[in-house]
Amino acid sequence: MSQVPRVFHDPSELRSEVRRAQARGQRAGLVPTMGALHEGHLSLVAESQKTCDLTVVTIFVNPTQFAPGEDFEKYPRTLDTDLKLLSRFEPVWVLAPEVEAMYPSGSTTEVNAPEIARTLEGEFRPTHFDGVATIVLKLFQVAPADAAYFGQKDFQQVRVIEEMVRDLLVPIEIIRCPIIREEDGLAMSSRNRYLSEGERKIALVISQTLRASVAQIEAGATDGNLLSGEMLALMQEAGIAPEYVTIADPQTLKSVETITAEVVILVAAKVGATRLIDNVLVSPPSSR
């Protein structure tokens, strides 16, 4: 029988309960989200449930990772629906704190995200990853889980968090989970709901272009600049405004001119006013 998850608003109450569960020998998993849940988020919960006795899902639209003029105010907040979606899993605890609970009045301390945050997303959203690193470290404090689950859809975000955890000696395992897509290939994202019907069709070109490049690399194409230039042009022709299309080393995120080993193809693009990201990992035949 499905059961609505237990909801915490007070971070310190959650921390005590997580510690108590761990003292009983339970393994705790953490799934940080900004809510407006979809099957992508739920796949992270399912992954956690494979090895964890208890999963904590945090639902918090973190103000410090949005720049002025971005969509912080309009970001969808759908807590009741989110709780219903989570009721298919058990046991799940939800932390849904107020901003003041995560940023106590007077707080000025923040995490300086690692160097890898300065490229790609960092060029277009220069303060974004400092905000992400700060809130994720706080979430690790209030939900001191054994493992935390992040989607590969935000590829650079996972790399930033992996480096932060390494650099700051945070005792938590970071688990990367694959991208969940709609049937036609569009990467699931809470922001997809901003798209009009026409924009939704145009947005599909992002994943189609990624797939076409994967096919070319798998068939032996090695020129990273040529391929990313072609992708850029295809998206522009479809009415998309790419911010970046980069073929990069999956570890360093530095762009790769000649593809001889596994690469990640990363895209950020605007469809109308909506900013979407997507990526795919691919290995050339020479490395297999």
Ligand X SMILES: Nc1ncnc2c1ncn2[C@@H]1O[C@H](COP(=O)(O)OP(=O)(O)OP(=O)(O)O)[C@@H](O)[C@H]1O
Ligand Y SMILES: CC(C)(CO)[C@@H](O)C(=O)[O-]
Q: If binding is defined by CB under 6 A, does position 151 make contact with ligand X? A: yes
Catalytic residue among 14, 18, 31, 41: 41
Q: Which is nearer to ligand Y, 136 or 145 (CB)?
A: 136
Comparing CA positions, the residue from 205, 274, 284 lying closest to residue 247 is 284
Q: Which is nearer to ligand Y, 149 or 244 (CB)?
A: 149
Contacts of 13 (CB under 8 A, 6+ apart): none
Residue 99's identity, in one-letter code, is V
Matching residue, tokens 């022709």:
237
Q: Which is nearer to ligand Y, 33 or 209 (CB)?
A: 33
Q: If binding is defined by CB under 6 A, does position 34 make contact with ligand Y? A: yes
Exposure of 117 by Cβ count < 10 A (0-12 exposed, 13-18 middle, 19+ buried)? buried
Q: Is 41 a catalytic residue?
A: yes
Question: In terms of DSSP H, where are the helices of 73-179?
Answer: 79-86, 99-102, 121-124, 128-142, 155-167
Q: If binding is defined by CB under 6 A, does position 154 make contact with ligand BAL? A: yes
**Residue 115 backbone phi and psi in degrees, to 5:** -50, -35
Q: If binding is defined by CB under 6 A, does position 134 make contact with ligand BAL? A: no
**# chain residues binding ligand BAL, by CB under 6 A:** 2
Q: If binding is defined by CB under 6 A, does position 153 make contact with ligand X? A: yes
Residues in the site for ligand BAL, rule: CB under 6 A? Answer: 65, 154
- Which residues participate in catalysis according to the annotation? 41
Residues in the site for ligand Y, rule: CB under 6 A? Answer: 32-34, 62, 65, 132, 135-136, 154, 157
